[in-house]
A and B are shown apart, each in its own frame.
Chain A
Amino acid sequence: MLVKDCMTRHPIMISPETPAVKAQNLMIENKVRHLPVVGDGKRIVGLITRDTLMVPPSDLGSLNVWEISRILSDIKAKDVMVKDKALITIDPNATLESAAELMIEKKVGCLPVLEDQVVVGIITEVDMLAKLSELLGGGAEGVRATIRVPNIVGEYAKIFSAVSAHDWGIYASGGAVTPKDPDHWDIVIKVRRASKDELLKVLQDIEGQEVIDIRTIP
């Protein structure tokens, strides 16, 4: 679960001399929201996003239609891209969590993934969300249960041994501290080959744990 497993390799990229208008067309036609700007050897130079393409009106000078067109057509990617200090990037061997934290902290939706300044892929919010869904077993059928457990060692093991004793498959699991309750953890599991009632019974039999939600995903 590293950045390199989750990123989009070979993203669409443009050169710094590409006109901004063309960059925008590319993004619209190909339904992407971020374009790395690269020089020779795919070295990162900057990043273009939907936001960066918004030119503040003060830059336009006048509202004359011809002027605007001229100015717009002159603007190149290198003029509007995010670059240098403002450009946040990440290493392919970083963990997904660190990527997420970075995105949150710096309020960016996309991180170019670099190896020695060369773009090897990009990872975006959407990629992260897709991975999140996968981690919680999204898209697959089975029974999804959320269990609230006390914050002590051994609780995970209890759940897993209980489920595996019945020859059911667990194929996703996630856990987080219960909101507003640091003494407890909420654990989500997705189980296969069990019916909702069967699973409910097994889980309720575990001591000290409370099933707060259980549903069948078709």
Chain B
Amino acid sequence: MAVQSMTKSPPTRLQKIWNSVSIIFDSRVATVGMGIVLFWLLVAFVSLFWTPFDPNATSFTQNLGPNATNLLGTDHLGRDILSRLMQGTQVILLKTRLPGTDISLPGGVAIWGVFGSLTFGSVLGLNAGYRGGWYDQIIMQVLDALIAFPRIVLYLVVIAALGQGDLVVILAITITGAPGVARLARSLALDIKTRDYIRAAETRGENVWYIMFNEILPNARGPLLVDGMLRVGYAIFAIGTLGFLGIGLPPPDPDWGNMVNEARRNIFANQLAVIWPAVSIASLVIGLNLFADGLREELTRYQK
């Protein structure tokens, strides 16, 4: 009976991890995306220890084009663009600075912001979707109201109220991202709650939070995570926008957004200073999008 040989022994942790990760390689799109993201992560990591020059040192001639020393040229203050670009990745991807001190939390602002909106949004969305009734009405109305505000306005409000700083930006991203996540979580919950295993849990008398987080959430993980990836891209945009508006992460440490902002003023003298950070933002966002897209294809292939 050839069919009985399903599993020889339970898979080891390593095998389990590999099984999840190998899904990525099944999709060409996801692999390319992951390649780009990994590239930037690597750059960020390297920049912790080394950049070609000090990013804040105004030691070069201003507005130079790419040359042997400054591979990407210099900006209007004579700083090396490449070094600034490299350091810019840190705050987005790698570390968050606590206000008033020199300590940094691991994980960049973009990452924390998305994490916040995923957590907050899932809780709200699952409650709305699973419990329905008044919970649904109230939560969704409040969130709809939030969505109605243009993002920039919300950012401005939050920052005006709480001042500048990495943590504030994280909060801003969380607040603007939560409604979208909640929407998604809600529709997933609405679909999943019709399944018999949820009924089974109910007939066991499980409490509502158990059902939401232990029965529904594990099956909603896929689409939510994929959505999360995309949001990292949006968060990076957001940071860029804030930086562009001048209310982003505080100087002097560079972030791509305010690099674009500053260089914009001198665009006639030095176009490349605008282009390099803009292209970097674009490439990271594209990389994340491709990764998320490919992953979604593979994950939802088996979703029932």
Do any beta carbons of A and B sit within 8 angstroms of each other in the complex? Answer: no
Give residues in A with beta carbon < 8 Å to B. Answer: none
